[in-house]
Amino acid sequence: MIIRKRLAAGACALLAALAGGIAPANAADGPPKDSPKVELVLDVSGSMRAQDVDGGSRTRMAAAKQAFNEVIDAVPADVRLGIRTLGANYAGDDKELGCRDSKQLYRVGPVDRTEAKTAVATLQPTGWTPIGYALRGADQDLGTDGGTRRIVLITDGEDSCGQPDPCDVARELAAKGTHLTIDTLGLAQDDKTREQLSCIAEATGGTYSTVRHTKELSGRIKQLVRRAETPVETPKPVQGADACSKAPEIGAGLWTDRETFSEHRWYRVNVKPGQELRTSVSIGADRAVDRDYGVLVRAVSEGGQELVRGAESGSGRTDVISSGLRFPNGQSGDKDEKGKESRTVCLEVSSSFSAPANVKRDPGLPVELAVDLVDAPDNPSDVAAFGLGRGWVLLGVLALTGLIAGLVWGWVSRWRVTVWRAN
């Protein structure tokens, strides 16, 4: 009897252990929380009834449904996917209601293909086109629990509500510093739609594409979803100051900020002995700007002495302009804990962008700083004479070569004249 009880207890313990082992495995199914997240935002407004895709053989809505089904089948295992609609539920004339018609159709997470396809199959072209409102909702859907964040917007027209303006919303979301990328796909080719979708994409470093065929739409969405799977370093938000003495200290890595027109931003970097500071600065033109522009980055000592600068300028349309500099720690500064010389370098970033009066100033233009601290070169002149080889050595060699070549050519010419006269 005692043996039976012990066997029964042992069997129960074994079952409990197995259950305990199985439960965590089930809970861990699917991508981890820090995996990439993508939300597809689909326009289901009334204009999606138009039959002009694939040479007019199918409606825009039918093409979008087929493309979504193919994308759902091809979602990488490490990507969390969600779907949001705009204009799918309200068919009336009340603009206030129509411009709030955006709903999450499928929650961001591991993909149940049957459930996701069933949800897409129920969609019918219905109402308005509140793109700005839907983008804000998609940003909230993606959350901020780690991993890359990407929105793919598929629409056949511009926002029909006006408030909030989609371009302003895209800039607002980019300014939050959560490394959100918005890619846009246009099913129509009119100039207003192209301009608005390009503006949304450019504000967040995304892409804009026009598609006219189902296969093209499906392939492009798959490509963007796969792109989210590629590991990228997430820039860290920072707010520069208006003077070196107030500037935040930053280290190696990617940093993002916003800078209004004519503003100067300052940051501080501690460069240890034997290190070289390498910095590049990129400023994006995420709105209409005047044709002439430039960017300047300066490395300045705490005492105000300019150490080195980098500058770039341009004219005409641009998406981004960049410049950079290199500075080795070879001068005296504050002593570190080992008694060696460290140096605080102040970085000043400014630009000469301007814009027409009707262009909004806030938030400022997006700024990205890439800071790297590497081993300094043995010969500091290698940096000072960057582009001239090792200091003046290469220049001297070139001058001497030119002199010798000139003398030889002169001697050959005189010899040929002498031979010609002799004959």
Cβ atoms of 151 and 142 within 8 Å: the answer is yes
- Ranking 222-231, 254-263, 384-393 by mean pLDDT, the lowest is 384-393
Q: DSSP letter at 247?
A: P
d(CA 86, CA 47): 12
Residues 6 or more apart whose Cβ sits within 8 Å of residue 221:
40, 67, 68, 71, 152, 154, 185
Element spanning 394, H or E: helix 393-422
Burial 69-103 (b: 16+ CB within 10 A, else e): bbbbeebbeebbbbbbbbbbbbeeeeeeebbbbbe
d(CA 299, CA 305): 9
Q: Which residue has the tokens 């910095």?
A: 279
Asked if the model's pLDDT at residue 383 lies above 50, the reply is: no
- Cα 185-189-195 angle, rounded to 5 deg: 70
Mean pLDDT of 334-343: 57
Give the tens place of pLDDT for each residue, 9-30: 444 444 444 344 433 333 345 6
Q: 174: closest CA among 191, 196, 199?
A: 199
Asked if the model's pLDDT at residue 40 lies above 80, the reply is: yes
Asked if the model's pLDDT at residue 135 lies above 60, the reply is: yes
Give the tens place of pLDDT for each residue, 230-265: 766 667 889 999 999 999 999 998 898 999 998 999
Under the banding of pLDDT at 50, 70 and 90, the label for residue 363 is: confident
For the chain, the structural domain boundaries read 37-229, 236-384
> Average pLDDT of the chain?
83
CATH 2.60.120.380 describes domain 236-384: yes
Under the banding of pLDDT at 50, 70 and 90, the label for residue 316 is: confident
pTM of the model: 0.62
Residue 352 burial (C-beta neighbours within 10 Å; 0-12, 13-18, 19+): middle
CATH 3.40.1550.10 describes domain 37-229: no
Mean pLDDT of 112-118: 95
Cβ atoms of 296 and 349 within 8 Å: the answer is yes
Q: Which residue has the tokens 């909230």?
A: 140
Omega before 166 cis (within 30°)?
no
